Structure 1
């Protein structure tokens, strides 16, 4: 089972935007939206580039997502599933905020 690792201060994140972090040799994209942190893999599974932290976030019928900056495929920040092309997904990591610090389990 993955253990939580302290990644950064909450103030290091930008509201409604992504930031990349290297956690245990794994690139992770962090998003701070509505006072919650979401953590997904930074690798775009279709284009095989570490770019997801640069993607735009949005909400499609209550489903929070990040869109790949390359070809705009949208991925759920909750499940990691691609909303536009079945069969693709991002890994999703548990995350939490404690004492103004961001923790992620990878």
Structure 2
């Protein structure tokens, strides 16, 4: 059974951007995507496997077709926010975490 960890306030993450959080020993990039039905939150590994740097949380959020993605700020590979899959190289995938919002708090499962 998953344990839910209180990470931050919803207000700590600006719409259509990301923040980095430490969960256990993992750096996690948490993204808030604004939408007509309310905001959606995603959590991916912050480590960019192409550059070796912990920078995914600083990437640009956007879409490629129907897919919501974040573009790595180093070499610009795109990672799907819902699955962590790299658009340019389907064999590369970032770890993802379940996210939920309770009140004004963002929680991650571990």
- Considering the TM-score relative to the shorter chain, is it more than 0.5? yes
Counterpart of 2:42 (choices 22, 26, 38) is 38
The alignment covers a number of residue pairs equal to: 106
Question: Which of 89, 93, 98 does residue 93 from structure 2 map onto?
Answer: 89
Aligned partners of 1:18 and 1:54 also within 8 Å: yes
Aligned equivalents of 2:3 and 2:63: distance in 1?
29
What's the CA shift string for 1:39-86, capped at 9, x where partnerless? 000000121110000000111111000111001000000111000122
- Any conservation in 1 of the 2:50–2:75 contact (CA below 8 Å)? no
TM-score by length of 1: 0.95
More strand by share: 1
1:66 aligned onto 2:70: yes
Question: Do the aligned residues in 2 keep the contact of 1:46 with 1:88 (CA within 8 Å)?
Answer: no
1:1-106 to 2 correspondences below 5 Å: 1-34=1-34, 35-106=39-110
Moved beyond 6 Å, runs of 4+: none
Q: CA RMSD in A?
A: 1.0
Q: Distance in 1 between the 2:102 and 2:66 partners?
A: 26
TM-score (normalised: structure 2): 0.92
